[in-house]
């Protein structure tokens, strides 16, 4: 099977813009982790607070989807690209390994 790569779609991104997108930042990493953990706490609390009602099903569904879709965060910490500092990449990656025990 021949694959013609010239026919594939590719985005034309300015080189300067591409370099900006590749820059690592501890602020961006903490922003993503804060959003992730705070949404887990928020929807986990709502599921707990509404336990015994049908609202619990909705909040557990949202909570489960947030948790299930968290793999890209851990994937990037494994590549050491989520944070600029290797310390924080290793900290959150080891945090994920701790969760896998439970």
Q: Which of 14-18, 45-49, 68-72 is the most confident on average?
A: 45-49
Q: What gap in Å lies between CA 44 and CA 70, rounded to an integer?
A: 15
What pTM did the predictor assign? 0.73
Given a cut of 50, whether residue 102 has pLDDT beyond it is no
- Work out the angle between the directed axes of helices 71-78 and 86-99 (0-180°, nearest 10): 130
Residue 6 has pLDDT above 90, yes or no: no
Name the residue ranges covered by the structural domains of the chain: 25-99
Q: Which two tokens stand for residue 101?
A: 């025990």
For 88-93, the CB contacts below 8 A with 24+ separation are 88/26, 88/29, 88/30, 89/29, 92/29, 92/33
């Amino acid at each position: 099977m021949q694959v013609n790569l010239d026919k594939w779609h590719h985005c034309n991104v300015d080189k300067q813009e591409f370099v900006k997108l590749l820059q690592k930042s501890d602020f961006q990493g903490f922003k993503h982790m804060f959003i992730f953990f705070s949404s887990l706490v928020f929807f986990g609390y709502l599921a707990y607070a509404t336990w015994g009602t049908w609202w619990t099903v909705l909040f557990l569904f949202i909570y489960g989807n947030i948790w299930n879709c968290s793999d890209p965060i851990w994937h990037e910490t494994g590549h050491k690209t989520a944070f600029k500092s290797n310390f924080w990449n290793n900290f959150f990656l080891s945090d994920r390994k701790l969760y896998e025990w439970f």
